[in-house]
Chain A
């Protein structure tokens, strides 16, 4: 009788430890899956933001693989493309001129085109850390008819 009880106790202890490990791994993997789903949706966003027709270059009715900064400066994506940004995590989206190196910071209608950062979407939420993913892009300035080198940056807010 005593031996059976001992076996049952040892069995229960080992089972509890195994379950604790299992749930810890499960929880970690669920958190990882959440972050991964967030990164996947934002990688897709990298492609889809570049193809938004309202900001894409269009010369003589023919679209080009670049971003028209004069359209970018006046376009508010949250009105038309709000659903594009309601994925499972918040993100800031902006275009950054890299080369030639710009003189000033964030662009608005007063300092355009002498500026370097074109904000596209900002959820205006507080966050503790962020992960940046980016892709190279060509920025077109119709006033000077110049194409400059830039990046589309998505800052995933955690």
Chain B
């Protein structure tokens, strides 16, 4: 084989390698945006879930936000200890939403009202009532 032909083959190999690397680059770049979409969905879910928990009716005209407020003050609601209602009902709602116990935490101030703790990357939504921060944390 002549030297010129060898050079052409070498050039060809470089072009092909460049083409493959571009294909792989665009393939992985596309995956990044899918992750971003999933993060946006999860962020929205945490925020909407906390809103839905706050509004949930426990008895007559008493919503969960009222029960949480009573729990902060150490009181009762619906003839029951407010904090016991929060612990039971929040766990029930979140479990029906499809989250496992080790993927979320529900805090009133520094006190944890969920069964497990979780670590890693988190999405958090919170609000303040009677000077205490009510916080829902989702770990992924």
Contacts and interface: CB of A to CB of B under 8 A. Distances in A.
Interface of A: 3-4, 7, 10-11, 14-15, 18, 21-22, 25, 29, 32-33, 36, 39-40, 43, 46-47, 50, 64-66, 98-99, 133, 135-138, 140, 145-151
Contacts of A133: 41
Interface residues of B, number: 34
Say whether chain B's binding surface is mostly helix, strand, loop, or mixed: helix
Contact of B52 (A18, A21, A46, A138): A138
Contact of B96 (A29, A39, A98, A137): A98
Contacts of B133: none
B2 A3 contact: yes
Contact of A137 (B20, B48, B57): B48
21 contacts: A3-B2, A7-B8, A11-B8, A14-B16, A15-B12, A21-B20, A22-B23, A33-B30, A36-B33, A43-B44, A98-B96, A133-B41, A136-B51, A136-B52, A138-B52, A145-B57, A146-B57, A147-B57, A147-B63, A149-B93, A150-B52
B5 A7 contact: yes
Contacts of B111: none
B52 to A, nearest CB: 4
B97 A98 contact: yes
B1 interface: yes
B5 A3 contact: yes
B52 A47 contact: no
Contact of A29 (B2, B26, B51, B97): B26
Contacts of A15: 12
Contact of B23 (A10, A25, A64): A25
B33 A149 contact: no
Contacts of A22: 19, 23
